Amino acid sequence: MHRQRRHFTAEQKVAILREHFLEKVPVSDLCEKHGIAVNLFYSWQRLFFENGQAAFTVNDKRRKSVLDDKDREIAELQDKLRRKHEVLSEVMEEHVRLKKALGEL
Protein backbone atom coordinates (compact mmCIF):
# COMPACT_ATOMS: atom_id res chain seq x y z
CA MET A 1 0.00 0.00 0.00
CA HIS A 2 1.49 3.35 -1.07
CA ARG A 3 0.97 6.25 1.30
CA GLN A 4 0.35 9.73 -0.10
CA ARG A 5 3.21 12.09 0.64
CA ARG A 6 2.32 14.93 3.02
CA HIS A 7 3.71 18.42 2.70
CA PHE A 8 4.32 20.56 5.77
CA THR A 9 4.54 24.32 5.73
CA ALA A 10 7.52 26.07 7.30
CA GLU A 11 5.26 27.08 10.20
CA GLN A 12 4.19 23.46 10.75
CA LYS A 13 7.79 22.25 10.72
CA VAL A 14 8.84 24.88 13.25
CA ALA A 15 5.84 24.00 15.44
CA ILE A 16 6.86 20.33 15.42
CA LEU A 17 10.47 21.21 16.24
CA ARG A 18 9.22 23.52 18.99
CA GLU A 19 7.28 20.65 20.56
CA HIS A 20 10.52 18.73 20.89
CA PHE A 21 12.78 21.58 22.01
CA LEU A 22 10.49 23.49 24.34
CA GLU A 23 7.91 20.95 25.44
CA LYS A 24 10.44 18.09 25.56
CA VAL A 25 8.19 15.75 23.56
CA PRO A 26 10.32 12.75 22.48
CA VAL A 27 11.20 12.61 18.78
CA SER A 28 9.63 9.17 18.39
CA ASP A 29 6.33 10.43 19.84
CA LEU A 30 6.32 13.49 17.57
CA CYS A 31 7.05 11.41 14.50
CA GLU A 32 4.25 9.01 15.31
CA LYS A 33 1.82 11.83 16.13
CA HIS A 34 2.52 13.70 12.87
CA GLY A 35 3.14 10.68 10.67
CA ILE A 36 6.70 11.55 9.73
CA ALA A 37 9.89 9.52 9.61
CA VAL A 38 12.50 10.09 12.30
CA ASN A 39 15.14 10.88 9.69
CA LEU A 40 12.83 13.59 8.27
CA PHE A 41 12.53 15.18 11.72
CA TYR A 42 16.32 15.24 12.05
CA SER A 43 16.63 16.66 8.53
CA TRP A 44 14.30 19.53 9.54
CA GLN A 45 16.30 20.03 12.73
CA ARG A 46 19.57 20.21 10.80
CA LEU A 47 18.12 22.76 8.33
CA PHE A 48 16.64 24.75 11.20
CA PHE A 49 20.00 25.12 12.91
CA GLU A 50 21.95 25.67 9.69
CA ASN A 51 19.64 28.56 8.79
CA GLY A 52 18.85 29.82 12.28
CA GLN A 53 21.26 32.75 12.00
CA ALA A 54 18.90 34.28 9.42
CA ALA A 55 16.45 34.97 12.24
CA PHE A 56 19.04 37.27 13.79
CA THR A 57 20.46 38.82 10.64
CA VAL A 58 17.07 40.13 9.53
CA ASN A 59 17.23 42.62 12.39
CA ASP A 60 20.86 43.39 11.59
CA LYS A 61 19.92 44.24 8.01
CA ARG A 62 17.03 46.39 9.21
CA ARG A 63 19.30 48.07 11.76
CA LYS A 64 21.97 48.60 9.08
CA SER A 65 19.36 50.13 6.80
CA VAL A 66 18.25 52.48 9.57
CA LEU A 67 21.88 53.40 10.28
CA ASP A 68 22.53 53.94 6.56
CA ASP A 69 19.49 56.22 6.40
CA LYS A 70 20.70 58.14 9.44
CA ASP A 71 24.23 58.41 8.01
CA ARG A 72 22.77 59.72 4.75
CA GLU A 73 20.63 62.23 6.64
CA ILE A 74 23.63 63.38 8.71
CA ALA A 75 25.70 63.85 5.53
CA GLU A 76 22.88 65.86 3.93
CA LEU A 77 22.53 68.05 7.03
CA GLN A 78 26.28 68.59 7.22
CA ASP A 79 26.31 69.62 3.56
CA LYS A 80 23.39 71.97 4.14
CA LEU A 81 25.16 73.49 7.16
CA ARG A 82 28.37 73.92 5.14
CA ARG A 83 26.43 75.74 2.39
CA LYS A 84 24.80 78.01 5.00
CA HIS A 85 28.22 78.85 6.45
CA GLU A 86 29.50 79.70 2.96
CA VAL A 87 26.51 81.95 2.28
CA LEU A 88 26.84 83.59 5.71
CA SER A 89 30.55 84.23 5.07
CA GLU A 90 29.75 85.83 1.72
CA VAL A 91 27.05 88.00 3.30
CA MET A 92 29.38 89.07 6.11
CA GLU A 93 32.14 89.93 3.60
CA GLU A 94 29.67 92.00 1.60
CA HIS A 95 28.46 93.68 4.80
CA VAL A 96 32.02 94.63 5.81
CA ARG A 97 32.79 95.87 2.27
CA LEU A 98 29.65 98.07 2.28
CA LYS A 99 30.44 99.46 5.73
CA LYS A 100 33.94 100.32 4.53
CA ALA A 101 32.51 101.94 1.41
CA LEU A 102 30.17 104.03 3.53
CA GLY A 103 33.00 104.98 5.84
CA GLU A 104 31.51 103.29 8.88
CA LEU A 105 34.63 101.22 9.53
- DSSP secondary structure string for all residues of the chain: -PPPPP---HHHHHHHHHHHHTT---HHHHHHHHT--HHHHHHHHHHHHHSTHHHHHHHHHHHHHHHHHHHHHHHHHHHHHHHHHHHHHHHHHHHHHHHHHHT--
Q: How far is CA 105 from each of CA 88, 94, 95, 96, rounded to the nearest angstrom? A: 20, 13, 11, 8
Do residues 16 and 38 share a domain?
Answer: yes
> How many structural domains are present in the chain?
2
Residues in Cβ contact with 41 at an 8 Å cutoff, skipping those fewer than 6 apart: 16, 17, 20, 27, 30, 31
How confident is the model over 36-80, as pLDDT tens digits?
999 999 999 999 998 887 777 766 667 777 778 888 999 999 999
- On whether residue 19 sits in a domain, the answer given is yes
Whether residues 84 and 40 fall in one domain: no
- Do 41 and 66 lie in one domain? The reply is no
Q: Which domain holds residue 38?
A: 7-51
Assess if residue 75 is contained within a domain. Answer: yes
Q: Do 67 and 35 share a structural domain?
A: no
The count of other CB atoms within 10 Å of the CB of residue 16 is 22
Domain assignment present for residue 63? The answer is: yes
pTM of this structure = 0.52
Residues 15 and 28 in one domain: yes
What pLDDT is attached to residue 1? 53
Same domain, yes or no, for 69 and 97?
yes
pLDDT at 4 over 80: no
1 part of a folded domain: no
Per the CB < 8 A criterion, the answer to whether 76 and 51 are in contact is no
